[in-house]
Amino acid sequence: MAYDEAGRLSRLTGQMLNFYRGSMVEDEMQPTNLNEMLDDVIVLIRDELPPAGIILRTDIPQNLPVVTGSRDKLKQVMLNLIANARDAMPQGGHLDIIASAGAADVRMTVKDDGMGIAREHRDRIFDAFFTTKGKVSGVGLGLSVCYGIVSQHRGSIDVESIPGAGSSFTVVLPLPEHS
Ligand SMILES: Nc1ncnc2c1ncn2[C@@H]1O[C@H](COP(=O)(O)OP(=O)(O)O)[C@@H](O)[C@H]1O
Ligand SMILES: [Mg+2]
């Protein structure tokens, strides 16, 4: 129990630090190459997926537009969404990372075919400390960190989920002339 609690507190501290750091993003805004950001993310996660029975599929065009933002913070957003996708597929499944660019914005989607989000939880998942993962594994700050960072990029996060079938989280970032 002590071991589990120490682990939980350490995760909690780490996430609270990220939460706090997330609010300083204004200082770090600079032209950010999203292809490079996504490459960083994929390098970090790809080796851990096969042992968890998760197949990674990517659909990322080569020349995503440059956005004004923080590469580190956007990485954190994608890593948090991916961590949730993994948690939603304890038996394994498919993780899709999809990007696309439109006239006014760029979209990055993290999609899983895991357990999905119960209807009654939909409105609460972005709340700080909301978790359905029990004491040991979840502290419920991942999505609130994502929300904070994406808001500071003047973007938004769209969620689609079918309970029992999977979820998809899409980060929408405005292009510079539209933000
Ligand atoms: N991909 C997903 N599939 C199913 N449920 C999800 C997914 N992402 C988030 N959730 C739900 O939203 C809650 C909050 O997520 P988050 O803020 O990252 O906290 P935590 O992961 O610590 O529980 C999760 O506990 C879970 O119920
Ligand atoms: Mg999480």
Q: What is the rounded CA–CA span in Å between residue 111 and residue 121?
A: 18
Residues 6+ apart with CB under 8 A from 50: none
pLDDT at 84: 97
CB 140 near ligand 1, within 6 Å? yes
Residues paired with 39 in a beta bridge: none
Kindly give the parts of the chain with pLDDT less than 50: none
Q: What is the rounded CA–CA span in Å between residue 11 and residue 31?
A: 31
Helix, strand and coil in the chain, % to nearest 5:
45, 25, 30
Exposed, middle or buried: residue 107 (CB in 10 Å: 0-12, 13-18, 19+)? Answer: middle
pLDDT at 20: 63
Q: How far is CA 15 from CA 10, 22, 94, 138, 173, in A?
A: 9, 10, 26, 11, 23
pLDDT at 179: 62
CB 85 near ligand 1, within 6 Å? yes
pLDDT at 24: 57
Please give the tally of structural domains in the chain.
Answer: 1
pLDDT at 6: 83
pLDDT at 5: 80
Which pair of tokens denotes residue 113?
């075919």
Could you tell me the residue range of the domain that residue 50 belongs to?
Answer: 2-178
Distance 22 CA to ligand 2 centre (A): 15
Closest ligand to Cα 132? 1
pLDDT at 111: 98
Give me the CATH number covering residue 18. 3.30.565.10
Q: If you search the block for the tokens 């993780």, which residue do you land on?
A: 95
Helix (H) or strand (E) holding 4: helix 2-22
CB 131 near ligand 1, within 6 Å? yes
Residue nearest to atom 9 of ligand 1 (CA): 84
